[in-house]
Amino acid sequence: MRAIGQPRTATRTAVAARVRLGVVILTMGDRPAELTALLKSVLAQAGPPMRIVVVGNGTTLPQLPAGVQGIVIPRNIGVAGGRNAALTALRVSNDVDVVMFLDDDGYLPDPYAAEKVRAAFAADPKLGIISFRIVDETGATQRRHVPRLRASDPLRPSQVTTFLGGGSAVRMAVFDQAGDWPTDYFFAHEETDVAWRALDAGWRIDYRPDIVLRHPRTSPTRHALYYRLNARNRVWLARRNLPAVLVPIYLGMWILITLVRRPPLAGLRAWFGGFIEGWTSPCGPRRPLRWRTVWRMTMLGRPPIV
């Protein structure tokens, strides 16, 4: 019971403090200065100390600040695999309720970002995932960093059907109930796979523009494997998660969208090679979304056909 004279904000703060936060950062060892800056911004966050894990994905790690756990993986096993390695370490200690996943070249400019995350999860037990707003060096938000179709106003909060993995917070219970990151994806669409399974399990996903991760402006096509993995994983995503009748509609839409975007010829060849690979290679366990989840996603503005 709230003591007489105790402000309600103090009560909310006390409840939020009971949300134990972890932070997972993946690095390939090619951004040492950025990783150092990110860790400083994490360690400067207000509120209780957080459990911080840095994963060296196919690389050794530099000297880490005191209290930061390092995990070295001898070969690069991809974004999804690296995050799962960190989840395994967090489960061993069993002292984290919510995990923030941050790109190693990101930065938290707001020292109260972690407190906002704690308060959000403390306030709503059905909140499963938060997607942060990603801004570039000038403070601008790219359209592709707003996880909804209507992205003209990046400052508008909303419920969404997917999220940005490198600037997010996920309740551990989501992974326990819906499963971990899909390791075989390596990278591309692993967030959407997690998001769809979380929605199907009844969790909510919020886009919170007031929780900001600063990140250099980049293009996903900078990765050599982008076009192939983008197409292969999109097919896997559909095969694993969509009701059978929606699979050809979803993939047909994305063939059309890809052609309209007019990627370079080499990229288009890689894309169609990945598309074929997605059909001819194992995609992992199939757990199609329930139709009520499809309807819920449609009501949120993004039916699972685009």
Q: Is 291 exposed, middle or buried (0-12, 13-18, 19+ CB in 10 A)?
A: exposed
Where does the pLDDT of residue 4 fall: very low under 50, low under 70, confident under 90, or very high at 90 and above?
very low
The stretch 129-154 carries a mean pLDDT of 91
259 and 193: one domain? Answer: no
pLDDT attached to residue 143: 85
In a domain, 73, yes or no: yes
The structure tokens listed for 3 are 């003591």
Where does the pLDDT of residue 1 fall: very low under 50, low under 70, confident under 90, or very high at 90 and above?
very low
pLDDT attached to residue 144: 84
pTM of the model: 0.92
From 189, 218, 247, the end of a domain falls on: 218
- 207 beta partners: 131, 158
The stretch 276-284 carries a mean pLDDT of 96
179 and 274: one domain? Answer: no
278 and 143: one domain? Answer: no
Phi then psi for residue 219, to 5 deg, are -120, 140
User: Any residues with CB less than 8 A from the CB of 306 and at least 6 apart, and which?
Assistant: 149, 250, 253, 254, 257
Where does the pLDDT of residue 223 fall: very low under 50, low under 70, confident under 90, or very high at 90 and above?
low
Output the average pLDDT for the chain. 92
**Termini Cα distance of the chain:** 48
Q: Is the pLDDT of residue 9 over 80?
A: no
Q: Is the pLDDT of residue 2 over 50?
A: no
31 and 116: one domain? Answer: yes
Where does the pLDDT of residue 306 fall: very low under 50, low under 70, confident under 90, or very high at 90 and above?
confident
**Which pLDDT tens digit goes with each residue over 10-69?**
545 556 668 999 999 999 999 999 999 999 999 999 999 999 999 999 999 999 999 999
**Which pLDDT tens digit goes with each residue over 65-108?**
999 999 999 999 999 999 999 999 999 989 999 999 999 999 99
250 and 120: one domain? Answer: no
Query: Cα–Cα distance between 288 and 200 in angstroms, integer?
Result: 9
74 and 203: one domain? Answer: yes
pLDDT > 70: what percent of the chain? 93
From 190, 218, 246, the end of a domain falls on: 218
The stretch 145-167 carries a mean pLDDT of 94
In a domain, 296, yes or no: no
31 and 155: one domain? Answer: yes
From 198, 218, 238, the end of a domain falls on: 218
pLDDT attached to residue 5: 39
214 and 227: one domain? Answer: no
Domain that holds residue 253: 223-289
In a domain, 294, yes or no: no
86 and 227: one domain? Answer: no
54 and 75: one domain? Answer: yes
Q: Is the pLDDT of residue 169 over 50?
A: yes
pLDDT attached to residue 206: 98
The stretch 224-243 carries a mean pLDDT of 94
User: Any residues with CB less than 8 A from the CB of 298 and at least 6 apart, and which?
Assistant: none
**Residue 147's CATH number:** 3.90.550.10
75 and 152: one domain? Answer: yes
In a domain, 305, yes or no: no
DSSP collapsed to 3 states, 7-30: CHHHHHHHHHHCCCEEEEEEECCC
35 and 181: one domain? Answer: yes
Number of structural domains the chain divides into: 2
